[in-house]
Amino acid sequence: MTDVMDRPALKVVGTRPIRPDGVDKVTGRAQFGADFHLPGMLVGKIKRSPHAHARIVSIDTRKARALAGVKAVITAADLPDLASQEYEAGESASNLRDLSQNCMARDKALYQGHALAAVAAVSAQVADEALDLIEVVYEVLPHVIDVEAAMEPSAPVLHAHLFTEGLAERPATASNIAKVNRLGRGDLEAGFGEADVVVQGRYTTKAVHQGYIEPHACVAQVSQDGQCQVWSSSQGQFMVRTYCAKILGLEIADIRVTPAEIGGGFGGKTTVYLEPLALALSRQSGHPVKMVMTREEVFRATGPTSGAVIEVKLGAKQDGTIVAADVVLKYQAGAFPGSPVGAGSMTALAAYDIPNVAITGYDVVTNSPKVAAYRAPGAPISAFGVESAIDDLARELGMDPIVLREKNGVVSGVKAVYGPTYRDIGYLETLKAIKDHPHYAAPLGPNQGRGVAVGFWFNVGGESTAAVHVNEDGSAVVVTGNPDIGGSRASMAMMAAEVLGLPVEQVRPIVADTASIGFSMLTGGSRTTFATGMAVTQAAGKIVEDVKRRAALIWDTTVDKVAWESGQAVCLDATKSAVKPLTLAAIAAQAGRTGGPISAEVSLNAQGAGPGFAVHLCDVEIDRETGHVTVVRYTAAQDVGRAIHPAYVEGQIQGGVAQGVGWALNEEYIFDADGQMENAGFLDYRVPVASDLPMIDAVLVEVPNPRHPFGAKGVGEAPIVPPLAAVANAVRDALGVRMCDLPLSPPKIRAVVDGLAS
Amino acid sequence: MSKRHISTTVNGDAAEFLAEPGATLLDALRDELRLTGAKEGCGSGDCGACSVMVDGRLVCACLMLAPEAEGRRIETIEGMAQGGRLHPLQQKFLEHAALQCGFCTPGLLVAAKALLDQNPDPSETEVRYWLAGNLCRCTGYDKVIRAVMDAAADLRQVRRAS
Amino acid sequence: MSELDYLAPPTVEDAVRALAAGGGSAKVLGGGTDLLVQLRAGRIKPGVIVDLKRIPGAIGVREEAGGFVIGAATPGAVIGEHAGLVGAWPGVVEAANLIGSTQVQGRASLAGNLCNASPAADSVPAMIAAGATCLVVGPAGRREIPVEQVAVGPGRTSLAADEFVLEIRLPARPQRSGDAYLRSIPRTEMDIAVVGAGVALTLDAAGTVTAARVALGAVAPTALLVPEAGAAIVGTPLDETALEALDAAARAAARPISDKRGTADYRIKIAGVLARRAAAIAYRRAADQGRGGRA
């Protein structure tokens, strides 16, 4: 591997060049999922369940098929009935049967909006009319959405085949509790026995949506020889390919997926909803089929993250040493198992070095959309509970909240609650960055309060492929298989340029389709800059080795007599003092005579991702009459390892904070008594707007990860972990009352104020 | 169903298209004229991704029927750069990294230009409220606001100089 | 397949004829910011849409006898740019300009906000407080009615299917008068009012309130004119006692429901808070005007 870290000065990494795909995106030229168009294309639409829970007695599609202009109609009967099988392809393992039945309900509709049938027609109007002509007979069943209600033995059971995993004995009856997971160490009882102070709380969060502005969209085409093409907006073209093959029973070699630009994902586009249906409709009709969700469909039928109940009990000695922690997490999974309670459990106490710990997590199915990954899946929820309790503990002990966290904070060499031993982490440095920030000492105004909270995310590596091709003029192309959601093309080009010694403008990064680059896991888990960046760096390193060899050939010397400096081959052979350095362009011009095209591809399974810690500081102001909470100042520090493109790193932090503030204050899925989502639109599902937020000061702490060539750690997930508690702790500071139920919407705040008065 | 023939001006040039009476201007721009820079994020006027100018007014193209466009002057993101030169707002969005996924960007740019055309020196609060109808889920708005303020400052200098 | 027709009649008479011909299946298009959303959601399936915007005068504000006539399809942005109107009825203008985003302001009209008959319509309490009327036209001719007589329930108006609002009319502003509108929403923008309050009042030279109209939104099936709330401050210098009485009267008049946007209990309390705050702003404006300052 080319180790560039020791080089005295990086020329490209750490600068802020204009992103290579930028002009396409500011001119409207960039092609997102819904922007593709093929001749003869049909419009595909989905018939969805109006009931939260119902047995599908029958689906009669005859009238729809008979309508002029309708070219295909499918139901679950047109898809293979898959056996239960766990499969690793998204951000976490998925069960293929569940995935298939989430795309198209088979026997039961499990949430309002669950797909039952799909049509392809010559126009949207005809498709809509066809949907109205599909006759479905339902047997409406009792439903359950609240997570604790779903855990009751008397609750309506969603899946007769679901028996709780993780219990000592296999249970005798089916349950909505899909799984119980336990994590821990030490002796909890003894730990609490040592404690001078015990705080506890029960906290709740509501289901919230990733809220990407681009609805899911794809175009699919199946030709008469069975070759399938998909253009879609997703976090991973290989993920789409794999899932389509599995759900439709196709060979992977017969499917080619081209990634569109993706209009936000945040984890929500790590699975498929439309693509298999569009392929099935295209196969039946012989035409390309385009499917685009409405915003309402996005809310009703795609993954929010879990609503949850979090119970936390902490015990500490008078000096602030936390000696015991008991955490119970109950997460909604939606219609099928797979909530992020596992990650929620693992991250819950990851920032704390506590000897006696028990964390119990429940994965609970409910009659709501199957949850999908959402930025640091599971972690903001458990952090909301834990960080609220830590804040209460600091008050109980009379300690500064940062000092309490420093006292109990993890450092390199400490074994994390979830298993591994930390290496090269920058948690204490990040705490210090906030403690030293002018914001921490700034005075507060009337009705204002200040909150601190911390967050953790593992960051991951995984399988990636990258290719670097040197063009005839010495410029280069970098090819990867990872969709660019937030500027990753820029960081890929920068890392390649750094190694090659080229100006970044001479490196064009491309995100390739599944037939044009080797396998890559999807963009998610904060893995791309780390893992795919490592592949890019290694491929560029191979290029450097290759051009050094070619220079040696040209100079008639040995490769050990050639150095690569500032983008040039320099001859170290004392006998060749007359030769001038050779630029990449000069070597590329002679490529034909030195072995042919200059090109390298690296596939790897990157290990050694460095975890990220975030420390957030939030000031709020409360209108005690109306109950409005305004975030008036926000500072977010994070250990990012090394910022490849600092502007986009800051952007990740600022965006994560905004989403977290929305989660804390106003965002929630609201269901009526029949289990219908009442706010399936951006009018009443209230994501923060520009006037809701202040500037967000992103402080980059750089404790390099030595297992990445430039020291990068993942960045995208950690920033959404602390805000829920940071806001809640600030509200606690301002009101003097702990509020435990998100969102902290105006009616709830006003009720608390009224309670104080009476 | 009979389509209507609509004559408009789009980005300075005469443009004609056919549209169902119930189709929106956004449908017409995207599906008939293949100007896909305006995006549909919600279809209900709540996200601003389809922002365009109609007769000099900022509107959501999803909240206007295509036949209403008859005889109107429409400007879209595709007309914002002049020839080979980006508009200063486009340039500042790039320099400030004011976009991540880029989906909301065309709408934000059209809306921001409408602001600066009528208010060359907006305060941060004015920019935030003007752009409140343009949802961005990636950036937390910080760099977007900075880019707009910076572009405004540049444009003021250009005006003073000329 | 259901055919949808779009008509843009050039005269009032043509529009009336088009509506009459359409029977119950005709819908009037002003700014369209509600109509298109309902169309898209499938909540309405009209046979014909009658666009008012090609009727001369449908877009624009004109001063008439010291008052203002606002064309039915005049967008909020045009209203906000009319200096005379902004000076005379700042509360109505700020209410109109609170509807939706800047983009929506490019289209949404007062008449549309009124005839959509949402109990939460921002401009309606402000117009009621200001004593606005509207000119309704139909096959039987023209009639002018107070705006509070238009909505009869959520989504329902007193207008016949072949009638429409052609103009909104605001009276001349009395001397030493001011108006204001405030609403409460969870965010800072882009939401439907959880509660809205409009206040218009007139002072005497000594600063005593001589007349006051208070209207509330989103606390009943239609926007409410609350005479008791107005009466609570008439004869006072809007001191703390008067504001308390106003607050209590507003709360007493509120009879809201609990829904996804707020609880009934919260709405009642906020009705009082906003009435008080809006009255204070209106009072300041009236007093400034009395001093010859800008409203």
Going from N- to C-terminal start, the domains of chain C cover: 177-289
pLDDT tens-digit readout, B33-50: 999 999 999 999 999 999
Tokens of B111: 């809306």
Exposure string for C157-192, b = 16+ CB within 10 A, e = fewer: bebeebbbbbbbbbbebbebbbbbbbbbbbbbbbbb
Q: Tell me if chain A has a CB within 8 Å of the CB of B50.
A: no
Estimate to the nearest angstrom the gap between the alpha carbon of A385 and the chain centroid: 21
Q: Tell me if chain B has a CB within 8 Å of the CB of A264.
A: yes
Instruction: Count up the domains in chain B and report the number.
Output: 2
Residue A149 lies in a domain: no
Q: Of B35, B77, B132, which has the smallest distance from its Cβ to A691's Cβ?
A: B132
Tokens of A240: 């789409």
What span, in angstroms and rounded, lies between the C-alpha atoms of A151 and A555? 75
Residues of chain C in contact with residue B55, where contact means CB-CB under 8 angstroms, are: none
User: Contact A461/A607 with Cβ under 8 angstroms?
Assistant: yes
Task: Indicate the pLDDT class of residue A601, thresholds 50, 70 and 90.
Answer: very high
Q: Tell me if chain B has a CB within 8 Å of the CB of A21.
A: yes
Top pLDDT among C290 and A136 is at: A136
A533/A654 same-domain check: no
CATH of the domain at B56: 3.10.20.30
Residues of chain B in contact with residue A26, where contact means CB-CB under 8 angstroms, are: 86, 90, 93-94, 99, 102, 105-106, 109
Tokens of A167: 């219990």
If we measure between CA atoms, which residue out of A390, A316, A306, A319 comes closest to residue A348? A390
Q: Report pLDDT for A92.
A: 63
Q: Of C1, C188, C266, which has the smallest distance from its Cβ to A750's Cβ?
A: C266
Residue A683 lies in a domain: yes
- pLDDT at A5 exceeding the cut of 80: no
Q: Tell me if chain C has a CB within 8 Å of the CB of A213.
A: no
Residues of chain C in contact with residue B44, where contact means CB-CB under 8 angstroms, are: 37, 40-41
Unique residue bearing structure tokens 């009337």: A446
A510/A600 same-domain check: yes
- pLDDT at A91 exceeding the cut of 70: no
pLDDT tens-digit readout, B121-146: 999 999 999 999 999 999 999 999 99
Residue in B18, B44, B59 to test binding to C, most C beta-carbons within 10 Å: B59
**Smallest CA–CA distance from C183 into chain A, residue:** A626
User: Contact C180/C281 with Cβ under 8 angstroms?
Assistant: yes
pTM for this one?
Answer: 0.97
Tokens of A124: 């949207």
Residue A469 lies in a domain: yes
CB B111 to CB C77 under 8 A? Answer: no
Q: Report pLDDT for C2.
A: 58
**Smallest CA–CA distance from B144 into chain A, residue:** A690
Q: Report pLDDT for C292.
A: 59
Query: Nearest C-alpha of chain B: how many angstroms from A67?
Result: 15
CB B65 to CB C104 under 8 A? Answer: no
In the listed set A285, A301, A317, which residue is the last one of a domain according to the structure?
A301
CATH of the domain at A615: 3.30.365.10
Percent of chain A scored above 90 by pLDDT? 95
Average pLDDT score over residue span C16-24: 92
What span, in angstroms and rounded, lies between the C-alpha atoms of A168 and A653? 42
Residue A597 lies in a domain: yes
Partner C, chain A 280-309, Cβ-Cβ below 8 Å:
296
Q: Report pLDDT for A90.
A: 56
Q: Tell me if chain C has a CB within 8 Å of the CB of A750.
A: yes
A107/A43 same-domain check: yes
CB C106 to CB B59 under 8 A? Answer: yes
B41/B96 same-domain check: no
What is the extent of the structural domain holding B10? 4-78
What span, in angstroms and rounded, lies between the C-alpha atoms of C122 and C129? 12
In the listed set B78, B105, B120, which residue is the last one of a domain according to the structure?
B78
Residue in B63, B75, B113, B148 to test binding to C, most C beta-carbons within 10 Å: B63
pLDDT tens-digit readout, C82-101: 999 999 999 999 999 999 99
Average pLDDT score over residue span A41-56: 98
A567/A625 same-domain check: no
pLDDT tens-digit readout, A603-624: 999 999 999 999 999 999 999 9
- pLDDT at A7 exceeding the cut of 60: no
Partner C, chain A 44-83, Cβ-Cβ below 8 Å:
none
CB C188 to CB B20 under 8 A? Answer: no
Residues of chain A in contact with residue B144, where contact means CB-CB under 8 angstroms, are: 690
> H or E segment at C126?
helix C123-130
Residue A74 lies in a domain: yes
Q: Of A125, A261, A658, which has the smallest distance from its Cβ to B140's Cβ?
A: A658
Query: Nearest C-alpha of chain A: how many angstroms from B161?
Result: 26
What span, in angstroms and rounded, lies between the C-alpha atoms of C291 and C178? 12
A601/A727 same-domain check: no
Residue B83 lies in a domain: no
Query: Nearest C-alpha of chain A: how many angstroms from C251?
Result: 14
pLDDT tens-digit readout, B62-74: 999 999 999 999 9
Query: Nearest C-alpha of chain C: how many angstroms from B104?
Result: 14
pLDDT tens-digit readout, C215-247: 999 999 999 999 999 999 999 999 999 999 999
Q: Of A679, A692, A754, which has the smallest distance from its Cβ to C188's Cβ?
A: A692
What span, in angstroms and rounded, lies between the C-alpha atoms of C115 and A348? 52
Q: What is the CATH code for C177-289?
A: 3.30.390.50
B59/B114 same-domain check: no
Residue in C37, C59, C101, C109 to test binding to B, most B beta-carbons within 10 Å: C101
What is the extent of the structural domain holding A80? 37-142+212-301
Q: What order do you get walking across the sheet with C48-51 strand by strand?
A: C5-7, C48-51, C26-29
CB C273 to CB A626 under 8 A? Answer: yes
B151/B115 same-domain check: yes
In the listed set B38, B54, B78, which residue is the last one of a domain according to the structure?
B78
- Longest Cα–Cα distance of chain C, Å, equals 68
Instruction: Count up the domains in chain A and report the number.
Output: 3
Residue A71 lies in a domain: yes
B72/B99 same-domain check: no
Q: What is the mean pLDDT of chain A?
A: 96
Task: Indicate the pLDDT class of residue A8, thresholds 50, 70 and 90.
Answer: low
Q: Of B44, B86, B95, which has the smallest distance from its Cβ to A295's Cβ?
A: B44
Q: Report pLDDT for A157.
A: 98
CATH of the domain at B120: 1.10.150.120
- pLDDT at A17 exceeding the cut of 90: yes
CATH of the domain at A226: 3.90.1170.50
Residue in A129, A631, A750 to test binding to C, most C beta-carbons within 10 Å: A750
Residue B149 backbone dihedrals phi, psi, to 5 degrees: -65, -40
Task: Indicate the pLDDT class of residue A56, thresholds 50, 70 and 90.
Answer: very high
Question: DSSP code of C109?
Answer: B
Residues of chain A in contact with residue C266, where contact means CB-CB under 8 angstroms, are: 627, 746-747, 750-751
What was the ipTM of the complex prediction? 0.98
Question: DSSP code of A611?
Answer: P
A594/A669 same-domain check: no
**Smallest CA–CA distance from B108 into chain C, residue:** C103
B65/B9 same-domain check: yes
In the listed set B34, B60, B78, which residue is the last one of a domain according to the structure?
B78
Residue A184 lies in a domain: no
**DSSP 3-state of C27:** strand
Residue A374 lies in a domain: no
Q: Report pLDDT for B1.
A: 54
Strand partners, C235: none
- pLDDT at A217 exceeding the cut of 90: yes
CB B54 to CB C106 under 8 A? Answer: yes
CB C101 to CB B132 under 8 A? Answer: yes
CB pairs under 8 A between A and B: 192
Residue in A213, A649, A661 to test binding to B, most B beta-carbons within 10 Å: A213
